[in-house]
Amino acid sequence: MTDISRLTPLWERLRTAGKPVILYGMGDGAQKIMNVAEQKGVKISGVMASDDFVRGHSFAGFEVKKLADIEAEFDGCIILVCFGTSIPEVMQRITVISDRHELYAPDVPVIGGGLFDAEYANNHIEELNEVYELLADEHSKDVFDGWLEYRITGNISPLLRNQTEKQEAYELLSLTDSEIYADLGAYNGDTIEEFLKVTGGKFTKIYAMEPDARSYAKLKRRHYSLSPYDFRTYNAGAWSCDTVMEFVSKGGRNSTLTPYEKGKAASPSSIKQVAMKSLDGILGNDPVTLIKYDVEGSEEKALDGSAKAIARYKPKLIVSLYHRTEDMFTLPKKVKRLNPNYRLYLRQHPYIPAWDMNLYCI
C-alpha cells in the first residue's frame, strides 16, 4: 500500500504555497470546500467557472470570472475543482487547465461528515491495510493506491491513471442472460439500461428500488417496455428493515435521507415521507444473482437489509464506495463479514473527483 508519509497533504500545501487559491465551480461542492478551507486556515481569493457559465454570477461574495480574467488578475494561482463530472470534454478541459496551473480536486464527503486527510488516514491505517490485502488482483491494488494518494494530496493524476470503462467491470462480473438483478438506487433506470446492453436485453427478473418520486417516474417511463416481463419496481429506499423515513427529494441523484443532511436547511416542500424496504423482505426466500448498491450513503444499511440473500445465494455485488468518508474500508469489510467467500475487486470509472468508485464482489 502507498506510504502516506511521503505524500504532501493538500491542505498543508494550500496553506503554505503563498499563491492565490481560486475555486473552480459554484454550488454545494464549492461551499463544502470553502468551509473546509476556512477550518484549515486557507484563504480563498476568487471564483471562476467555464466560459459558458460566466453570466454575471456571484458566489460567496466573489464575482464569478472566466479563467482568462483570473489569469490576468493573478500572476500564478492554485485552482480547486469544486464539482463532479464524468463528461469526457469537461474532464479534458480540467486536464488542460492542470497542464497550465497547479490544480487540485479536494476530496470532501458527498454525504455525512469527516474529512479524508493525512490525519484521518493515519488514524485508520490498520483498516486501510486490511482492505488492501483483501483485494483480489493487482489492478484493484493499483486503484486503491491511486485513490489513497489522490484523497490525501488532491492531485488528479493518480486518480486518472487507473480509471477503466464500466464495460471492463461488467466483463469481470461475467453476466449471463438469466440474471436476477436487484438495482438498489435505480435512479432513472440508467444502470438497468447498462445491464440490458450487457445481457442482450435478456434476464430472468429485475427488482428496481428508487425512493425519489420524480426519478421513479422517469424509471417507469424509460423501461415501460419491460412490464410484460418479470420487472418489479418499488418507489422505496433500500434499508436494513421495512420502515418510513423523511427524505429530501431533489429530483436526482442527490436526493437523500434527512438524517444525512445534518446542519443543512431543507425546504419543507422538499421533505417527503418515503417507504424504506429491506431487499430480504422483498425477496422472501427467492434467489437473486446480482445486486447493485448506489443509495447515497445508505449502502451499509442496504447491505444489512440483504444479509440473508448474500449469505444464502452469494449474488454478484456492485457497491458504491464514494459517498461517505469511511466507505472505502467499512463496506468491503462488511461484505466479507456477510459472506467470507467473496473475491473483492476495486474499479474506478472515469470521473473527477473520485466518484464512481465501485467494489465488485464475485
CB 107 within 8 A of CB 328: no
Which homologous superfamily does the CATH classification assign to the domain defined by 166-361? Vaccinia Virus protein VP39 (3.40.50.150)
Express each pLDDT in 279-296 by its tens digit: 999 999 999 999 999 999
- CA 88 from centroid of its chain's CA atoms: 17
Q: In a 10 Å sphere around its CB, with 0-12 CB exposed, 13-18 middle and 19+ buried, how is residue 31 labelled?
A: middle
CA distance linking residue 215 with residue 190, whole number of Å: 11
Report which secondary-structure segment, H or E, holds 154.
Answer: none
Any idea where the domains of the chain sit in the sequence?
9-106, 166-361
Q: How many CB atoms lie within 10 A of CB 317?
A: 25
CA distance linking residue 176 with residue 159, whole number of Å: 31
Which CATH number is associated with domain 9-106? 3.40.50.20
pLDDT for 53 equals 83
pLDDT for 52 equals 83
Q: Strand 205-209 relative to strand 231-234: parallel, antiparallel, unpaired?
A: parallel
- Regions in the chain scoring below 70 on pLDDT: 249-270
pLDDT for 229 equals 85
Express each pLDDT in 135-181 by its tens digit: 999 999 999 999 999 999 999 999 999 999 999 999 999 999 999 99
pLDDT for 268 equals 59
What separation, in Å, do the N-terminal and C-terminal C-alpha atoms of the chain show?
Answer: 23
Query: For the whole model, what pTM was predicted?
Result: 0.92
pLDDT for 56 equals 81
β-sheet bridge partners, residue 316: 290
pLDDT for 57 equals 85
DSSP 181: E
Q: How many residues does the chain have?
A: 362
Q: Strand 290-293 relative to strand 180-184: parallel, antiparallel, unpaired?
A: parallel
pLDDT for 256 equals 61
CA atoms within 13 A on the CB side of 168: 13
Question: What is the DSSP code string of 197-263?
Answer: HHHTT--SEEEEE---HHHHHHHHHHTGGGTTSSEEEESEEE-SSSEEEEEE--SSTT-EEGGGGTT
